[in-house]
Amino acid sequence: MIVRGATRCCLRLRPTLARPTSRFSPQSCRRYSMPSGPMPTVNPTSSAGMLAPFVNELDKIAPSFKISGSQIHIIQSPIDFYETLKARIRTAKERIFLSTLYIGKSEKELIATIEDALRANPELKLSILTDALRGTREAPEPSCASLLAPLVTEFGSDRVEIRMYHTPNLTGLRKKHIPKRINEGWGLQHMKLYGVDDEIILSGANLSNDYFTNRQDRYHLFSSSEVTNYFWDLYQGVMSLSFLVQPAKDEPSGFRLHWPSTNTAPNPLERSTEFISKATPFIHNLIAPKEKSEKGSLPSGDTTVYMLGQLSQLMKPDTSTELPVMTHILKTLAAPEYTGSSWTFTAGYFNPAPSLTNLLLSTASQDNVVITASPYANGFYKSKGVSGLLPDAYTLLARRFLRTIKERKQDSAVVLKEWRRGTVNEPGGWTYHAKGLWITLPNEKDPSISIIGSSNYTKRSYSHDLEAGALIVTQDPGLKKRLGDEQKWLQEYASPVTLDDFAKTERRVGLKVRIAMWIVSVVGGAL
């Protein structure tokens, strides 16, 4: 297990599994509620004044760090993401920690890069967290788990630790009888955290060939020990609530899943209620806002990064931070002072939680854009079985969204765009998986606010999956321009669609769409 030492700059790494501890005091744990009363007035001539109503309440919802905008690098393409990740791994000095839904079972080059780094540096430690359902789906045939287990064999459990999180929502007869392709709908480890030493990439991308070549996502590299160490703490917390992957020559699959007695909670497959009971205060402490010290000067920086965690299935009551942050931002944007602002919202699988749809359409902003995948850029396009119905389901949801816009007479304020670059599974065809939010304040050219992370912003994201991300609030002109460029290049292959487009024969959905809609409600948006 990889554990952090007394200081952020020097990592103390030891072979035994250590139970992670929170950096946050119990006194800092409190459930956030939206403030009542009128919104604070803002100074329309000051960028800081326009941002103040956002950040004043955000500090009560989520922990944050002040950094320089120059510490955030925005990566544009899947290939650049892959090359950046490999480059960081090759030069890693102390730790590599990767949290993803899954690593593609054929990702030999990525594994070879990791192996080379471990061989070159005996002090380097590796930790990987994936989802148990997705990571073992193909077993005993080759799977994510069988790909990773040999790393433990070669480098030892003192240097390599592989964990797989299993939802407490799928146990007993339900787990036994529900098909593997569908059972993931009961909850997944969905955080995408790619940390190397004191840098981390936040993304929505998984670690497989399509995400490295022709599946467009978003990727932000944070060169900040504070941001990286925060997510390292959260990562360790989920690790201590996950199964340990052990090599097993006597098993047909080549591995076994073991629940260490040192874990924070009991086995979720055996004692799911107690698992959640133990996990609730533990995770709550990790994601609650940190008390600000009254002594000394406040950290300097032109950019504040708020740490977002949506881990609803682990907490009763749920004190996750992403949905409250989104809610606060959009409610604040509805104030008359923000007339003239604009937002861009994107989700590859267009199925936003109803509360978010209402909030987006209730803002005072103008010239707003929603970007989603065209059916021809949907990862489920022409896939086998019932999942092939999913593009039709998302088509219906998009059409309903346009109808809502029309009913509210907001046709001139909101544009829906579909992203398409060729056709899935054809030469040159790409899929679209990006998600996020950008907000540009009145009288400004580029966004000052953006959200990056793993969440698909669906009802499921806010109830079943483990999500992590960050809210960026910046006054740095360079970072604002980079955020503006990002939202522009994501629209290079996006075209507006109208209700008339959905009325065309090829866009009509058949009777099977009801089945597809049910699939979306259960498993949609999980990739």
Query: Can you list the domains of the chain with their CATH numbers?
Result: 49-522 (3.30.870.10)
Contacts of 450 by beta carbon, 8 Å cutoff, 6+ apart:
436, 437, 438, 439, 471, 472, 483, 486
Among candidate residues 86, 125, 166, 192, the one labeled active-site is 192
Q: What are phi and psi of 140, to 5 degrees?
A: -85, 5
Is there a contact between 451 and 471 (Cβ–Cβ < 8 Å)? yes
Lowest-confidence region among 6-15, 94-103, 313-322, 483-492:
6-15
DSSP 209-255: HHHHHTEE--EEEE--HHHHHHHHHHHHHHHTTSEEEEE-TTSTTSE
Instruction: State pLDDT tens for residues 408-459.
Output: 999 899 999 999 999 998 999 999 999 999 999 999 999 999 999 999 998 8
Answer yes or no: are the C-beta atoms of 368 and 342 closer than 8 Å: yes
pLDDT surpassing 90 at residue 72: yes
CA atoms within 13 A on the CB side of 408: 17
What pLDDT score does 519 carry? 65
Q: What is the pLDDT of residue 298?
A: 45
Average of per-residue pLDDT across 258-274: 97
User: Which pLDDT score, from 0 to 100, does residue 364 have?
Assistant: 85
* pLDDT beyond 60 at 34: no
Take residue 31 and report the two structure tokens written for it. 């459930």
| Least confident piece of the model among 221-235, 269-283, 379-393, 491-505 | 379-393
Mean pLDDT of the chain, nearest integer:
87
pLDDT for 290: 82
Give CA separation, 366 vs 161, 259, 359, in Å: 49, 52, 14
pLDDT for 3 beyond 60: no
User: How many CA atoms are closer than 13 Å to the CA of 389, on its beta-carbon side?
Assistant: 16
* Residue 18 reports pLDDT greater than 50: no
Cβ atoms of residues 37 and 56 within 8 Å = no
Neighbours of 513 (CB within 10 A): 16
pLDDT band at residue 172 under the 50/70/90 scheme: confident
**Confidence class for position 295, pLDDT limits 50, 70, 90:** very low
pTM for this entry:
0.89
Which is the catalytic residue, given 86, 190, 433, 435? 190
Would you say residue 12 has pLDDT above 60?
A: no
How confident is the model at residue 259, as a pLDDT? 98
DSSP β-ladder status, 72-75 and 342-347: unpaired
pLDDT digits (tens, 9 = 90+) for 372-403: 999 999 887 877 766 777 788 888 889 999 99
Catalytic annotation on 284? no
Residue 299 has pLDDT above 60, yes or no: no
Residue 45: exposure state from Cβ atoms within 10 A (0-12, 13-18, ≥19) = exposed
- Residue 185 predicted with pLDDT over 80: no
Confidence check: pLDDT of 119 > 50: yes
- φ/ψ of residue 98, rounded to 5: -125, 120
Q: Which of 131, 166, 197, 328 is catalytic?
A: 197
Check: CB of residue 144 under 8 Å from CB of residue 133: no
Say how far apart CA 112 and CA 106 lie, in whole Å: 11
* Closest C-alpha among 77, 67, 8, 118 to residue 490: 77
Q: With 60 as the cut, is the pLDDT of residue 32 above it? A: no
Using CB atoms within 10 A of its CB, is residue 475 exposed (0-12), middle (13-18) or buried (19+)?
middle
Told to judge if 233 belongs to the known catalytic residues of this protein, a careful annotator would answer no
How far is it, in rounded angstroms, from Cα 346 to Cα 435?
5
For residues 272 and 277, give the distance between their C-alpha atoms in angstroms, rounded to a whole number. 9
> Quick check: 19 pLDDT over 50?
no
The yes-or-no answer on residue 481 being catalytic is no
Strand partners, 339: none
